[in-house]
Amino acid sequence: MIPSKRRATLREKAGSLVDITKKGAALKAAAAGRFDELPIHNPSIECASRERIRAIQLARLIDQVEWTYGHVSWYRERMDEMGVKPSDIKTLDDVRKLPFTDKAVLRDTFPYGLFAVPLDEVVELHASSGTTGKPIVVGYNKEDMDLWADCIMRLVQMAGVVPSDRVQMAFGYGMFTGGFGLHYGLQRLGCMMIPAGSGNTERQIQMIQDYGSTVFVSTPSYALHVCEVGEKMGFDWEKSTLRVGLFGGEPCTPALKAEIERRMHIVCTDNYGLTEVMGPGVSGECLAERDMQHIAEDHFLWEVVDPETDEPVAEGEMGELILTPLGKHAIPVLRYRTHDLTRVVTEPCACGRTTARMQKVRSRSDDMLIIRGTNVFPSQVEDVLSGIAGVTPHYRIVVDNETGLDRMTVHVELRPEAFSDSFEEMDAFRRHIEEKLKSVLLVGSKVKLVEPGGIERSVGKTKHVEDRRVK
């Protein structure tokens, strides 16, 4: 870790920070190891010792448990049933004495059953989709909003965003937390916000050109769609003002990120968050190790557990991520089960930050498909396809049991250069993909080749799996 005083000295010797307002400058500086010249929003926290971070977490955990027990009857009743009092929380490991929370709890207490403050202190409501029943509703008081903005300012500066940036927001501004959360944090940083909203792709491209947008916020799949439409329109992405892409809402595979960076000539980073614990901002990606994300540890206590036994796994091992927000008052949540699978490491990062890093979430414990007794994750399909030349990052998995047995068909979109009028060539390519998939998935699947642009693009989260099985 480079202490902040030394960091300042290095900057003085260099004359100034790297001019990251120039296209590609931040990535070049990172590739050269010049992290001392890249901004860190709050070095006193983000570069603190592990001892200080854990001390902050413990103090805030104790306060959070006391607040939650005193203000939310659901938690008080569960803790009483378990024989646990707030005074029993003396170490960070004591968090395991507390009850888990999951989506079912938030739905059962809909809408205000977990709120810990009077409704006249709530300044904003958000909710997740309610496609399977009641939506999950969360609220924020003024202090919660300040905490949220702080988290966002950290992660956007990791990507190279500066106060003078012009940010085009292509997320929707509904009950979804993504659009508003990023909007508030970026605005707090000093950026000009352009609330474009979702959809109308040709208009999005025109706005980039008209307003000189430098940052684009969307899902990664929509960003690639914007890129493709722009290319068809003759838009020169290399000469555009756009410099940074901030992505969220869905996983961004390394192959997809690399393709967007190459074709749009921008820096692409993604962030992680959940409506239930706050929204975007739980963790963010620096430019040192692109498959890992720094957790805002002073605001979130993390655990990684075996999803079957609920026991903690060793540091660096894969498991289910459990989150306890620290300092969230309007609707406090203890030990929230994300069902997201990841691993967490605590060694310092080359970027200078010392906060724990989680591997980017590629799969969920509840996204697993069981095909004829074999566990299959969509991320496995993505990994196979990313290693095959001639296919795009767009795919769809269709599962059915019309014949009485589970069948999986993977729809794979081809690049123009891979498409051929020869049936023999296409059939050989299809069988090649099927063999590659079987060697990894350990279960056979059919592959259907789709012409370029044949898989529907989405302005929101891309749906990769269509399960048509009759239960």
Q: Report the CATH number at residue 390.
A: 3.30.300.30
Give me the amino acid identity at 105.
V
230 lies in a domain? yes
| Strand ranges (E), 306-389 | 319-325, 336-342, 344-345, 357-359, 363-364, 369-371, 374-376
- State the pLDDT at residue 1: 41
Supply the pLDDT for residue 133. 63
Supply the pLDDT for residue 405: 77
Instruction: Tell me which residue has tokens 């989506």.
Output: 103
Angle at 181 between CA 179 and CA 183, to 5 degrees: 65
Where is the domain boundary, 328, 360, 392? 360
DSSP string, 391-460: EEEEEEEEEE-TTSS-EEEEEEEEPGGG--S-HHHHHHHHHHHHHHHHHHHSS--EEEEE-TT-SPP-SS
Query: DSSP 3-state helix, strand, coil percentages of the chain (rounded to 5)?
Result: 35, 20, 40
Domain identity same for 224 and 337: yes
Task: Determine the Cα angle at 103 with ends 100 and 105, to 5°.
Answer: 65
Angle subtended at Cα 153 by Cα 148 and Cα 158, rounded to the nearest 5 degrees: 130
Q: Is the dihedral of CA 134, 135, 141, 147 positive or negative?
A: positive
Residues 297 and 429 in one domain: no
Q: Which of 325, 360, 395 is the last residue of a domain?
A: 360
pTM value is 0.81
245: number of CA atoms within 13 Å, CB side? 29
A 10 A CB-CB count for 248 gives: 27
The verdict on residue 348 lying in a domain is yes
CA 378, chain centre distance (Å): 16
Q: What is the mean pLDDT of each run of 10 residues along the chain (471 residues)?
A: 41 57 92 91 96 98 98 98 98 98 93 97 86 79 97 96 96 87 96 94 97 95 92 96 92 86 95 93 95 97 95 96 97 96 96 96 74 78 88 90 85 91 92 92 91 80 81 69
Domain presence at residue 135: no
One DSSP character per residue, 414-432 reads EPGGG--S-HHHHHHHHHH
Residues 319 and 400 occupy one common structural domain: no
pLDDT of residue 94: 98
Q: Are residues 378 and 413 in the same domain?
A: yes
Residues 301, 379, single domain; the answer is no
Q: CATH number for the domain including 43?
A: 3.40.50.12780
What lies within 8 Å, CB to CB, of 21 at 6+ separation is 162, 164, 165, 214, 243
pLDDT of residue 185: 97
Domain presence at residue 115: no
Whether residue 387 is found in the same domain as residue 321? no
Same domain, yes or no, for 320 and 443?
no
Number of domains in the chain: 2
Residue 320: what pLDDT? 95
Evaluate whether 342 touches 360 at the Cβ level (below 8 Å).
yes
341 bridge partner residues: 320, 363
97 lies in some domain: no
Res 119: pLDDT:
97
Same structural domain, 337 and 234? yes
| Residue bearing tokens 């509840």 | 366
Q: Are residues 343 and 447 located together in one domain of the fold?
A: no
Residue 127 lies in a domain: no
Please check whether residue 11 lies inside any domain of the structure.
Answer: yes
What's the domain range around 330?
4-50+142-360
Query: Would residue 320 count as lying in a domain?
Result: yes
Task: Please report the pLDDT score of residue 11 as a whole number.
Answer: 40
147 with 193, same domain? Answer: yes
Considering the domain architecture, whether residues 308 and 413 belong to the same structural domain is answered as no
Of 360, 378, 410, which marks where a domain is finished? 360
What single string gives the DSSP state of each residue in 114-139?
T--S-GGG--EEEE---TTSSPPEEE
Regarding whether 335 and 317 lie in a shared domain, the answer is yes
